[in-house]
């Protein structure tokens, strides 16, 4: 992650979420907010959602089809 900041755009932001975050919760977090703002660029999944913890996974908008398919498979 040391080199990543040189590629950050001004509107990029990531949020940390717990490993217990559900697929519907992740989808909601990656959706544009009601206030018209921009959704986060990435979801960083850690053990309990704390920024100081090592990432377990990184979820970005390109992962949405996989997340939607996972939700559909569960119903």
Domain count, the chain: 1
Q: Is 51 exposed, middle or buried (0-12, 13-18, 19+ CB in 10 A)?
A: exposed
| pLDDT score of 73 | 83
11-47 pLDDT tens trace:
778 999 999 999 899 999 998 888 888 899 999 999 9
- Is 58 or 9 the better-scoring residue by pLDDT? 58
Q: Residue 27: inside a domain, yes or no?
A: yes
| pLDDT score of 75 | 57
Beta strands in 1-75 (DSSP E): 14-18, 42-46, 57-60
51, 18 contact by CB (below 8 A): no
Q: Residue 41: inside a domain, yes or no?
A: yes
Full domain range(s) for residue 29? 14-73
| pLDDT score of 6 | 63
């Amino acid at each position: 992650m040391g080199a990543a900041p040189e590629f950050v755009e001004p509107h990029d932001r990531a949020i940390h979420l717990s490993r217990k975050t559900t697929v519907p919760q992740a989808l909601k977090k990656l959706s544009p907010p009601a206030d018209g703002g921009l959704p986060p660029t990435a979801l960083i999944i850690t053990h309990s959602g704390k920024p100081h913890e090592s990432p377990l996974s990184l979820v970005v908008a390109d992962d949405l089809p996989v997340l939607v398919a996972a939700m559909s498979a569960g119903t």
